[in-house]
Structures are given as C-alpha cells and as structure tokens.
Chain A
C-alpha cells in the first residue's frame, strides 16, 4: 500500500474507511477548488467508481456547470502531465514504484501546496482514463434538479404524475392567486363551516380588509416547510399567560386601593363590577374587550398598590395591552390554521394539474424519502454526495441530505458525504436558509466522526487588505459560547496566498465623509462623495472603471446615485431593479392591448394614445375629446379608427398574432431601437411577448383575460445570476451584496451604511431552546411575547437579523481585492453596517479637506473628506443619435399614423354553409367516396361497403344512406364511363418537380380510355364557384404531370358526388 500525502503531510487514512468531511472555506479561499480536489482524490482512489454514482449539489445552475468543467479540466491536466512522466518512465525502469527523488505530480498544477498528490502514476493514469471517458455521467446539478430526478423515478410513491411540469414566475403567481380565490370561495360561500368561518372572522377583525388577509396567507405559505412541522408550540394561553392573568384579576378585586391614573381606575372599576370567573381564551377576550382602550392607556407609574397587576395588564409599551396580546394570539392561530388549509387545497389543485413549483420539489422529495423502500433504492443510486454552499441550506434540504447520508440504522455512512461552506456567508435568511441548521447538521456529522478541514489560504485580497479584514472580523465575530437559538460563527484568520500586491496603497480601508446641510438629501451627499472619489481615483486607463463596485442592500434608493453618476459622466452597469412588468416596454404594450380589449374604458384609450405606439400629444387628445377647440380633433379620430381596426383583427387573430401585428404595423421596435437605453426596452418587449405566448399555449385566454391577469401580476424579478455582467463595458458595477456573492472586484464601495433590513411583514420562525414556533411581524403568537423563561421570543428574530447583518458586512468587505471604501455620514442612525464601523473605529474625526491616514485598532485607515465639485446637470440622453435628438427637439411633427390592413380573409356565409353541410354527414360522405374509389363499377357493392364501414367506424344510419345513394349512382353515366375504362391506379402517388420544389400528390383514380388517360378527383359538397376554380387548377396540375410522365394527352374530371349532389366538371 503506497503512502499518499494528504493536505497536512500526515499520511491519509487507509483507503476504505475515508471519513465524511466538513470543509469550512472562508471567502476567497477557493471553495470550488476544494470540492474539485476532493472529487479528484475520490476518482484517483477508486477507478471502478462509475461517475453517475457521484452527486455534486450546487446552489446555482452556473456553479453546477462550472464545477463539472473544472473536474474535467483537472483530469485532462493530470493525464497530460502523467503521459509526459510516463514517457520518462518508459525510458528508465518501468513498473517500479516511484522513488522520492523524482518530481511529484500534484493538483492544482504549480501550486506550492497541492491539494491532491499522485502516489502511483500507473494506477492514476488508468483511473483517469476511465473517469475521463464517462465524465459526462457525473451528476453535477442544483439541489432542485437533483430532487426532480428523484421524484421522476418514484412518481407513484410521491403521488405525482411522472410528466409533472414545473411552474414558476408569472405562471406560478397566476396559479396561486386563482387557487386562493377558489379556496376562499369554497370555504366561505360554497361550503361554509361555522368553525372555519369563525377563523375568517377573527383574521378579518385583525387585518380589516380581505386583500390584507390574502397577503398574510400568501406570505406565510412561503414557510410551508415550518407549517408542516407539528411538534412546535405557538405558545399556550393556559400555561404561559392564564396563571398571571388570574392572579392580577384576584389581586385587583381583593385590594380595594384606588389609583391616581384615570385609565387604571376605569379598569379597576370594570374588573370589580363586572362578574367573570375566568374561562377560555375567547371568554377572556370578550370580557376584556370593552376596556381595551383604557387598558392601552394605563400609566402604571400612578397605580400605587396596584402597580404590579396593572403593569401586567398593560404589558408591552404604551398603546399595547394584554387584550391586544390575547386577540393577537387568537388571530395568529387563525392565520396558521387558514394557511395550512390553503396549502392542502393548493396541493390538491397542483395534483390535478400535474404541476409542482420549486418548493414542492424539495418538500415532496423529503416526504417520499420517508418511505423506507424508496429511501433504500434512492441510497443505492449513488455512493458519494458533495454539497456546495452548505451555509445556504434550509431545513428541508438538510433533512434530505441527512437521510441520504445515513445507512438503514440511522448512522452516517463514513466517506459518503462532503459538505463545503462558510457559515459566515449565510445571508439568505429571507429564503429560509438558517445558519442554525448549518450548525446542527455539521455538528451531527462531526459527532459521527466526520473530519473538519479549514481552508485559510485566501487568493483574492492583497496581503495588507487581508490583515485589516482579519483584524476587523476577529472583533466582529468573537469566539463565544454557543447560543442554540442564534448561531454566531467565530472568525478564523486567513493567510494571504497571493504573493504579489496589486496596488500600492497607504491604507486599505477608507472612511469617506458624506454629509449634506439639508438632512433629506443624505443619498445625494453619499452619491456626490462616491462620484468625486471615483473621479479622483480612476487611473484614466481604457478599463479603469471596471474595478469599482458599489454594493447596496436595497435598490429602492438608487435614483439619486444614478443621477449623480450620470452628471459626473461615470458609466455604470446595473442589474434589473424592478419587476420587468413595470418597465417601459411591457407597460406600453399592455396599455394598447387594454384599449383594444375594453372600448368603454376611456382611460385606457387615452393611455394607449400617449404610448410611443401612437404618440399623440395631450393637445390632440383634449381636442379629440371635444373639450378644447383649436387643435385638430381628427388626429384623435384617426387614432380611434386604428384601434377599432386592431379590435376587428383581434376577432380572428390569436393573442400572439395580434401582438405581432401591433409590433410590425407601428414600428415600435425601430422606435425603441433608437432610444438611449433601447437595448433594455427591446429585451423587455421580447420577454412580455414570450409571456403572452406561454399564456396562450397554457391558458388559451382571450386578449381581455390576458390584460386582466398581467395587470394583477407584478411578479418581482427572481435574483438574476451575477454572470450576466457585460465584461467588455468600462463601467462601475452596481448590484446588491447578495448578487455579488461569488464575485470579486478591485475596490468595493459600501454606501447607505445605516440601513437595517427589518423582517418586513409577517415572519414565522422556530426556536430550539425553548422549542417554540414564533409568529411575528403580523398577528403575534403568545410565544412571541411570553417565552416560558418570561422574555419575549420575538427578540430572537431581531438578534438573528443583527447576526445576519454582520455576515452581510463580511460578505461585502471580502469581495474586495485591493481596498474598501465605507461611505460614512456621522449624523446617521447607529444601525446596520454603521454600528459595526463604530464598534471598530469609535466615533471617527475627519480632516476639513483631503485624505488623512491614521493607525487604528484594525490597522491603517484613511479618513477622507472631499469638496464635491458641482458638476453641471447634464441633460439626459434620450436617443442614441445625438444629432437626430437635436433635430427632433423643435416643432412637433404632424401625426401620420395608419390603420393596419385586415388580417384574416373571411369566407362568405354561403361558403361556410356549404362546407358545414358536408360536415353534417361527414362520415357518410367519406364512406361513399371510399367505396367509389375502390369499386370497379360492376361487382356487388355490399361486401366492400361493409368492409369500409368498419374501417371508418360509420354508424348504421350512415351505412344505409350510402347504400341507398350507391343504388342511384350505379346508374350515373360518369360511373359507367369509369367502369368501362381500364383503371390504372387508385390513390396513385405522383411525384414531380414544380419550380424547383419536389412535390408529392395522390390521385384518387387514374383510368385509361382509348383517346387518352383521365384523372378523376372525388369532391364532397356542392360545386361552389370559389372552390371550383381552386379544385380545377389543382387537377390541371395532376394532368400536366401525368402527360409529362406518359407523353400521352391526359384529361381530368372533378366528380362532386355526395349524398345529394352528382355533378361532373371537366378540366
């Protein structure tokens, strides 16, 4: 057994009992490289391992592709190095194990301490060849596509249609809303049940409006994973509150002391006079309801002897009371119960439609793996699981991985699982990822013998910057004993593995002063400080702006920054900030569609006229609506006529055809193309056209229904993958800290430091010690305010937000390669990143003007204050071509729009009637033609009729009508003519080339007569002039083809033979 060097030079454990592995990789320490190394080690050890038995779970599609590519690249690098060594070997002594003097082969190639070292080149070459051959089978995928493959192979057990479709984005919100309305209708109108209606009433009492209830339920349904857990208590009235409540009541009734505070006096009077001996939660709420306003106003400082009970009755701050706590709890219980029922109803509807959404993929996989038999077969499918970005795992994903990583006896299988992550980068709280799950799962793995590996070689930041980062975060993430409810990972110092320093700087952290006289202009102050700083620090090179990145935590305040950057002529690259349905192009298109769909909506007509599709001025609109004389009213009339023409087209066009007609006849693409940010408009127009197409294919709704649905849906854009940055453009990068995950930039600039994201809206979370579920941010459960230890558990939500804010600060700062700029406004609230900066640097002082470097606890820090040079406010560029913009700035050009040509050619009612008449006895008509085609004109038609009736599944009535008809036709002269002639072919395929195109046709019947051949074509229905012309032309082409083939003349005949007609038309 030859020794194989592991990472630390200590010999790796012998091959079979490899341990599970928890790799903690700080920011910039090459997390992906660590995973690739582990997979390589595995492949080198086990050449028999089939790649499809290795699963790599990543967070994004891009990461999945990247890891697979890097593994293949590494294998190829190693195999080419081995072949070089191989040739050396063949020259010297073959087959001997290598001695130490020879140069070792390791990966990553050329790195001072390679993660993987080749022990036995011969065996390595064989296993690399095997793995390279089937590398495509490697299952590198997101956890969602992994779950999808599980569900598709166990559809019956998962209760799913194996061809299930994934519904997301616009379509998902459409489905959720329609199902919500159907569920509400069933629960209240169709099958009202008292107990259910009472819950609706309780929640209505709390929320006040139905649409508020809808928002609460749809928001809460995002925490389906928690709502599924039944063993968490939302706080119990009897245990946590009732005893104190009864004591307070008894105390006030027994102690007849009076209180100076009028509200407390009114409460005391009521409690003493109104008999009540306690009871259920509802009973208490009804009993306390009349004195609710007074309870809220109690000022317990003036309650004298009754201070203690009164303090309890007015629990919480002024304006709150024990009544609100109880009513809030009741509303919380109602909300949770309603949401659970909604989710059950929703699952039923999805089941019927055979659709799932991304959450279902995880939840249903977790559920199907409860079935022991399925779990066994799923486990048998692969031997190794690698999980990337493990700090972003949520409870459901953790449960799935936990099940797959264990054996039937519930023990973790050694060597099967490798998880990689950095708890300090867990910033997706809003997407259910909770670091407590990371801590619990990694502790479980390590208690079961997993090895812990910490990567601390950082390849991103210059050494001086890394020193400062280490100093900052050793203070912000101190080593402290573990709090089960709020996980605060300790900081591990990183080593700068980058030898060369990219830029010589006096300090790597700059505090940039930003303060404006008028307090409301704080964002302007920050924007001008940043713009001025960039202007002074760009080196003028062709790509000198690319190294700057401004990372925000909210994009809603962006306008001041963008406006300032434009005024300083500093270009920027920006991800989408709002729902694309709120942008220019989709709003314009839907406005015009609405005007087409709703003729009686005058607002819609006016809005459509004001879009670039028609570009009427408001003067023309007002004149058109005959409110102000003077300006020409006929422009409005021409516009109304154009809309009416589109409305006619909409009768016979599909939604997609109508939109295509609109786009081509109004040239809107040329208009957007000429606009300054035309590319973005065109991309949005394409997206809304794709949406309309999907809507039509899946829902088949009319233009009206599409306009109604899309106006309702303002779907927020999913987080765009950061890869879409345009590398070529020389521009400052602007994005959220979340979007910057996994990216790196030269200089990171952090504005809006004091912003502290609050939970925002209803929040549901669980706490482990004590084991409680807490509902806060909307109606609050008792557990939120009355934790068993007495302290309110809702403060844990705030503590977790604070902890996540620090981790967000860590992610933001560690994006930097050379330096970090913190935009500091001394007057700002001491919250968010601002608070973190104060803990590190205390209250900083700034020079009047310029940059001053001072030594601080975290190393050299620059304190800079810049006098903002007032740039002139440059007029925004509207068109790409400045020259054309100048031309068009003058007099308004007269309107010259045109109405579109009609789209569909309508058939005359007579033509429609003729075809439909044929349709009535379609079956009989076809049967008659089939018989005539095959009948030689003499033999008894009965057997042929019966045989062909079976083929056409014609019913008895059709058969008898054809039989009667045949008797008549038998005597028809044309039939005799066919009978006498020699039949050459029935359904004869003919192929010929017609103006360059190869044509294939079938001739019903070809007969040969003394003076030439005759092509016969059977036609149903009566000979309508419109149709005869076209049919005649068609048969003429067949005759030309036949005579070309035979060299003999060939005539044609159209036989309009049906149940009523028998007309022959010569060709």
Chain B
C-alpha cells in the first residue's frame, strides 16, 4: 500500500485519474473497482470535479464518502442499522444523568453541557467508558480523583438512558464497523487526511490490517500531521514526491475601516470578476469563522451586486412565527396570561374558536388598562364592550387549551401558509417525537426543557447560490482561481483554547484521551492550505466594527505584503426601486424641512374653524403648535402600556386626587377651616380617599394590589400635608373655598355656568369652555385654584410663563371668573397648588389677572391667527422649563425633536410665541 504526500490539488488529480483508469471498458453502471474515503465535502467535490473532467458525460455509483458513511454501509451490508441518538436525546439524557449523581459539582449551571463535550472527546478518542474507568482506577496524579469518579458515574447513567431509547453513540458505530471490516469490504483510497480521531482511526486500522486500503494521500508533512503519518507508516511504503512546494499564489491584503466596508467591497470585487467572465465556481470566499451577521451582510451585499453565495443563513426557530407561537403558548399559563402575549399568539396565527380582531382587542385592552390575568380575574370587565368580552372569551379558551398541552398536537394549533412554516412545524413534530420517546425516563412535561429544545433548532433561510462561501474547516480540498479570505482579525482567530475544566490536559494524558492543546499549529496549517488552494488570494480585515470597538489585525497577515487601503462604497449602486420623481420628493423633504415649508406644519388656512377651544387645548398650542394640530385637529391620542403602569395611570390619579379634594372641601364648607386640623376632618379626608380608591379598584382591579395599597397610604399622607398647608394659606390670604369643579360652557351636561366664556381674538369670536378646580373668594376678591400632581415644576414662575404664552389655562379661567362674577381684574388672581411641596416658594406659582390681561389677549390674538392660517410648527423643549414633548403622543418619532439642525433653529426663539411672532433670531 502506497503513501503519497501531495497538495490537495494534486491529490484530487491523481485519485480521479486512477478511478477513471480503473473505469475504462467497464459497464458505466457497474460498481467501481475502488471507493474513496475523504475528510470533507470540499475534498469530495474537488475529486468529483477532476473525475467529470475526464468522464464529461457524468458518473454513477462512485463512492466519495466519509469514514462515518463507510461505517454505516459496512453495518447495513451486515444487516445492522443501529440508530445514533440525536442532539436533543443526548442533552436530555445527560441532564437526567446529572440529576441522578449527588456531587456538589453537579449543581453548577452548564455542567450537563460540559459533561457532554468531555464525553464526546472520550468517545472520539476511541476509548469506551469501561476502558476509561479501568484506566482512572489505575492512574496516579489525577487532579481530583473524587470528581473524576463522579463524572464516570454520570456518564454510565447517561449511557444506560441512551441504551433505553435503543440508540447508540456515533463512536459505537465506528467501533462496530471496525469489527466487521474484512476481506469482503471494497478496496478504499484514503485521500486528504492529515489527522483523525482515535475512533475513526480504529476503523482505518481495521481496513489496513485487512489489506483493504489501496493507497493513501496526505496533504502535508507538518509536525501536527506527524502523529497520523507515524500511525500509518507501518502499513505503507512511503513514496515521497519532491517536497510539497505549496505553489506561491499572488497574495494581496487590504485594510478597511469597518467590517461593513470590507464585506461590501469584497462583494463588489467578486461581481467585477463575474462580470468579466470568471465562472462562479472559480471564486470562493472563506473566513476562519463566520458569525451569523457576517453571513447576513455577505448575502445582502451579494444580492445588491446581483450574485448569490452558497452560505446558507439560518433563522432560530423561536424567531419564526410558528416557533414563537409555540414558545409563547408553552409559557402563557405560568406567566399569568399577560395581555401582550395573548394578543401576540392571535397575531402569530394560533387556530382559535373565538374569531377576534387582534388590533381592536389591543386598543380596547390598553384603554381599559388591562395588564393581564385569567378570565376569572377579568370578570369585572364583562359586559362593558364587545372587544373586552371577546378578549375575556379568548383568555378563557386559552386557559382551556393550556390546561394540558399535548406536545404532539403543538404544530397543529398554528396556521401554516409557507414552505418555511411547514419546515417549522416539522421541527416541532420532531421535538415532540423525541420527548415522547424519552418519556420512559423523562417523566412529565418540563416546559423549560421544551422551550430550550425549540431555541436550539433553526430553519434554513434564503436560496443557495453559486459562489462558494464558508468557513476554513469546510474549505479543505477546494481550489479556486480567486479566493477572498475575509475577517482576518485576531478576535476571529481564538488565541488560546481554554482547558476542559472536567478533564484537564494533565488528566487526559494519563487517561489516553486527546488533549485540547492550543490549536495553534492547526490554524497555521489551515492558512497554508489557503495559500495552496488558489491562484490569487485576497486577504482583508477591518480595524473597527463600525460602532467604536477596535479590531486587531490577525498575526497570520504578518507574512503578507503591506495592506493597501480598500476602497469605500457608501450607498449601494442599484437603480432606485421607485420612480425618480419619488426620490426627488424624498430629497425635497431633506431640503425644505425646517424652512417653514409644508413639511413643517405650515398647511395653509383650515376650511373649518375649530368649534370651541378649551384652555388646556390652547395651552397645548402655547407649548407646541404641532402638538395642538396632532391632538386637537387630527385626533391623535396617547397609546398606553398597561404592563408598565403598576401605579394608577397619571391621568386617573389626577382625577382621583381632584375628586377627594372636591368632596373634602364641599364637606368642610360649613365649618371655618383652621389649624390644627380636627381629628374628625382628618378622618373624613382619609374616608374619602379610601372610597375613591375602592371605586377605582371596582372599575379596574389593580394587577399589583400591594403597590396599590402603598400608593393609597402615600396618598393619605400627601393629601393630609397638602390640606394642612392649604388651610394655613387660606387663613393668611383671608379666603374661603367657594366653588368646586366649576363647569362653564355648553359641553357639560350640568354646567355651573351654561354659557361659554367668549372673547374676541383676530376678529373671530373664541368660545372658551372648561372646568375650574376651585374658586376661593373673600371680601370681593376671587382666586382660581388648579391642583397639580407632584411638585409641578413645569408651572414654576407661572406669571413669566403666562407672558411667554406657554401657560394660558389658569389665566383664561381667571378672565372667565372676572366676567361671570363681574369682578375687577385687580381683585382676581390665580395660583397652581402642587400636591407635593417642593422647595419652590408658593408665590412663584401665582399671578394677578390685572398684570397679565394685556399680554394674554395679545398672545391669544397671535395664537388664533396662527391657527386660522394653518401655521403649526413643532417646538421641541425637554428642559424643566415647560417640557412640551414630555406628554406628547408622538415624542418617540417626531422629526423636529430628533433633527439637531431643525431643533436648534427653532429653539433659538425660546418659545412658540416668539417663533410665531416672527421676531428674527439673533
């Protein structure tokens, strides 16, 4: 038997011509004289390529197989078809085995995975568990004999569980094939191996002893291939060609700023090669390792350049609609039927008896502030509206469905519409079948194990293309005219492989198991193979990941010529998908935005005048005219997130506080309010608070009662302190609360003053309607009061803010009171009363109508004229000053707020009033 050393290119050439030679004159369908064992698909395809060059019409029945495939055929011919345990079975078995051994090590996370990796190394070294325990008993100097003994105990339990599934380990199949290999096995040619595992070598040695190996080709004589070469030497007569000279390819290296530039330029250069006629099979893209995002970028940029690569992308099963629905369904009950997850299931296509419109339910449950809960917990919402009733029925059906989930039926519960959906359903079936098989020792449905199994599956995505693209290990044996070796970074080439914590290298040496070593030589070999595989090798690397992380050049590039800077492409070269006119319109937005254009809220005169304006609407306009346009003309409303509001929603809490204070002051109206607060009054105040909280809880039961009770007790303390300071203020001001929740204007069913407050602005009658929290009165003086939650920082320096037009509400209420009660503006004042006393002095929250009236009318004139002329510019402000964006429904996506230049140009006017008045900026 002859052993030859030759580079992969020559190996493929020699093996193919030997096979073709042996074929001459034989029936093309008859079995081939010799079969070939290869280490990778790459070598197989290289040999097939050379073979088809000699037999262009095609070949049938030639065996280019791995050692595992050969072993399978040897066993099949002997009528044995043992089943190798799949990944999920091995994971479940190892987890069960870990639970059965009581040793502290077995508690730490990830120990099952560590045990699996170490077990794999043992069996791949061709060592059976009985060999191992014999050697461990004899070995002196193990790092921790007790730990090794516990490990062996876990592995034997693992093997027992696998046997119970009548499955075997892959190494068992190789061992059995080694026993069966004999004279009847067809002669084999071994092509392209420089190393193999102990288990593989056992089969090869059996073939060698039976004289069934006709010839061996090895690609290198480097030190790391020596152990393998020495093992074969006794059986072979070495024919050494002249030293393997790795043909010197033309090598160049290019450096890029980011990985995006690198991969985009590589695709551009591949496209250029394809354009001037280089066949796709002559071009390859290889990397030491390719992350999922590398593949995504390569395929995206390739598509932009009009070609596709063989690198198949995968999408994790839980990221696919069917996988996500299965995961959500499994977790639904234990997480308490959360609203968002229930609706996600409907949108992901769960088959349901209750036909529902997910979006309608979404909007309704948000408004009703339902965060989740069983149909029993939600019974209080029954009968309120159809969408809520549908939602409760939906939850009831899901409760029934998840009461006892049958894994086998899981894939039938979800709507399937595409090929990928079918593939996903099949994966779920396979998982269910495995769990059913392991029931014998894996009792009960462990939901987290199933979810973990789903998370470990993935689905192929996108079609396979022409240009080869893959990782260095799968590259062996292929050859190209042009090879692009990308991502030549240090962090992509792992420096030092860390030791196996269970079987450190020192123990492995004692037990005859392959050591991990640092894998440095193998890396050197793989890179030398790159040089051998192509006429032109283009290395490339990036100095940064484009997001601030610095990347270091791989040390293997040191032998390359100095890198030249790779060219940079910004936007892709494609023809616009839409018409040029639409591209111009899109660019016009960039050009005209921020120049008072139709893109900036300048929409020209509105046909219909707004019927009536409330002070809060006018205040919205004062803070940001565009917010007024969105909320009060286009009807945009806030979207609530019940899941995030454990406390009462800030709007509902405002209403609750107002109701309590109204009821308290109405009750206390008879008595003269003075300090200290009588026990009876203090008791009544707490009573009102309890009633309001109960009333709210009845309408919308709190998802978190503990937090609600904390809130209730805190409200009692805050309102009690507020009332004390309020009474003190009333005594010093000589005023008494006279009117509460004073409603004026037609929009109210029971108005205190039916007629709206009408004032003339910009030649147009403006009807103002609203509700005043409280009106205090005393010897001809009136004071309008507005309670504000928290410290009300947005209302500090109220009088200045009224002049600037960003605060109008209270001033308008004061004007209305002056008219309704025929009071002299000098006797009418207004004050904001923050419920929580901050360090701002009270007078900073007050104003006298007399001083404000003139500028107020001027402001209204300006605002009404702007509204009528359709002028609604956006005015972002996020300081404590008046913070217009804080409660704006579009603050996450408003263009002016996020564009530095537009924002800066507007903010230099300090407030909307000066912007609208058009005083030129500095």
Contact = CB atoms under 8 A, between A and B. Distances in A.
Interface in A945-965: 947-948, 950-953
B291 to A, nearest CB: 10
A892 B599 CA distance: 10
Contacts of A152: 498
Contacts of B360: 600
Interface in B355-383: 359-360, 362-363
A665 B577 contact: yes
A603 B630 contact: yes
Given A293-B724, A897-B578, A599 B570 contact: no
Interface stretch (B320-328, B526-534, B799-807): B320-328
Contacts of A292: 721
Contacts of B571: 669-670, 672-673, 678, 682
Given A615-B585, A896-B582, A912-B417, A603 B889 contact: yes
Interface in A314-357: 319, 351-352, 354
B823 interface: no
A354 B892 CA distance: 33
Interface string B516-542: 000000000000000000000000000
B498 A153 contact: yes
Given A674-B587, A895-B582, A700 B646 contact: no
B231 interface: no
A266 B520 CA distance: 82
Given A627-B606, A896-B578, A898-B578, A590 B110 contact: no
Interface in A893-908: 893-898, 904-907
Contacts of A530: none
A693 B295 CA distance: 12
B599 A610 contact: yes
B898 interface: yes
Contacts of A674: 587, 590
Contacts of A210: 646-647, 707
For chain A, give the interface size range.
35 or more
Nearest to B304: A664
A683 B603 contact: no
Contact of B590 (A599, A613, A699, A879): A879
A521 interface: yes
A991 B544 contact: no
Interface string B305-342: 00000000001101111011001000000000000100
B58 A951 contact: no
Interface string A900-925: 00001111000010011001001100
Residue of B48, B166, B461, B790 most packed against chain A (CB within 10 A): B48
For chain B, give the interface size range.
35 or more
Given A654-B319, A702-B324, A584 B899 contact: yes
Given A60-B550, A666-B578, A156 B635 contact: no
A682 B892 CA distance: 20
A922 B83 contact: no
Contacts of B585: 615, 892-896
B149 interface: no
Given A354-B109, A951-B83, A988 B61 contact: yes
A602 B635 contact: yes
A990 B28 CA distance: 11
A280 interface: no
Nearest to A65: B552
A885 B587 CA distance: 8
A486 interface: no
A319 B837 CA distance: 11
B822 interface: no
Contacts of A601: 639
B281 A878 contact: no
B323 A989 contact: no
A747 B892 CA distance: 41
Nearest to A694: B293
Interface in B392-429: 411-412, 416-422, 425-426, 429
Contact of A612 (B110, B552, B586): B586
Contacts of A686: 260, 546
Interface in A1033-1048: 1041-1042, 1044-1047
Given A293-B725, A687-B547, A989-B60, A611 B582 contact: no
A991 B59 contact: yes
A717 B633 contact: no
Contact of B29 (A602, A615, A724, A1013): A1013
A162 B899 CA distance: 45
A671 B83 contact: no
B550 A697 contact: no
B384 interface: no
B108 A1045 contact: no
A201 B710 contact: yes
Nearest to A876: B901
A136 interface: yes
B108 A985 contact: no
Contacts of B165: 953
A682 B570 CA distance: 8
A888 interface: yes
A162 B904 CA distance: 50
Contact of B895 (A610, A885, A992): A610
B867 interface: no
A667 B581 CA distance: 12
Given A156-B111, A687-B546, A916-B422, A189 B904 contact: no
Contacts of A665: 577-578
Given A163-B113, A889-B591, A897 B418 contact: no
B466 interface: yes
Interface in A183-227: 184-185, 188-189, 192, 197, 200-201, 204-205, 208-210
Contacts of A354: 109-110
B704 A188 contact: yes
Interface string A378-394: 00000000000000000
Interface stretch (B49-57, B612-620, B756-764): B49-57
Given A988-B60, A1045-B28, A651 B114 contact: no
A878 B324 CA distance: 43
Given A188-B706, A694-B293, A896-B579, A62 B550 contact: yes
Interface string A932-976: 000000000001000110111100000000000000000000000
Contacts of A641: none
B572 interface: yes
B416 A162 contact: no
Interface in B867-909: 870, 872, 889-890, 892-895, 898-901, 904
Contacts of A136: 495, 555
Residue of A521, A717, A1046 most packed against chain B (CB within 10 A): A1046
Nearest to B901: A876
A117 interface: no
A704 B422 contact: no
A671 B544 CA distance: 26
A559 B921 CA distance: 15
Interface string B826-847: 0000000000110100000000
B443 interface: no
A952 B837 CA distance: 76
Contact of B898 (A204, A584, A876, A984): A584
29 contacts: A184-B646, A188-B706, A189-B707, A200-B706, A201-B714, A208-B790, A209-B790, A293-B725, A524-B922, A591-B892, A602-B637, A604-B639, A612-B586, A654-B315, A654-B320, A668-B586, A670-B576, A671-B583, A673-B571, A686-B546, A700-B316, A700-B318, A702-B324, A878-B591, A893-B585, A894-B581, A898-B582, A912-B417, A919-B425
Pick the 7 closest A-B CB pairs, nearest first.
A161-B110, A992-B58, A673-B571, A591-B893, A951-B81, A700-B318, A607-B893
Given A652-B421, A700-B324, 9 more contacts: A161-B113, A559-B904, A604-B639, A629-B607, A668-B586, A669-B572, A717-B548, A879-B590, A907-B422
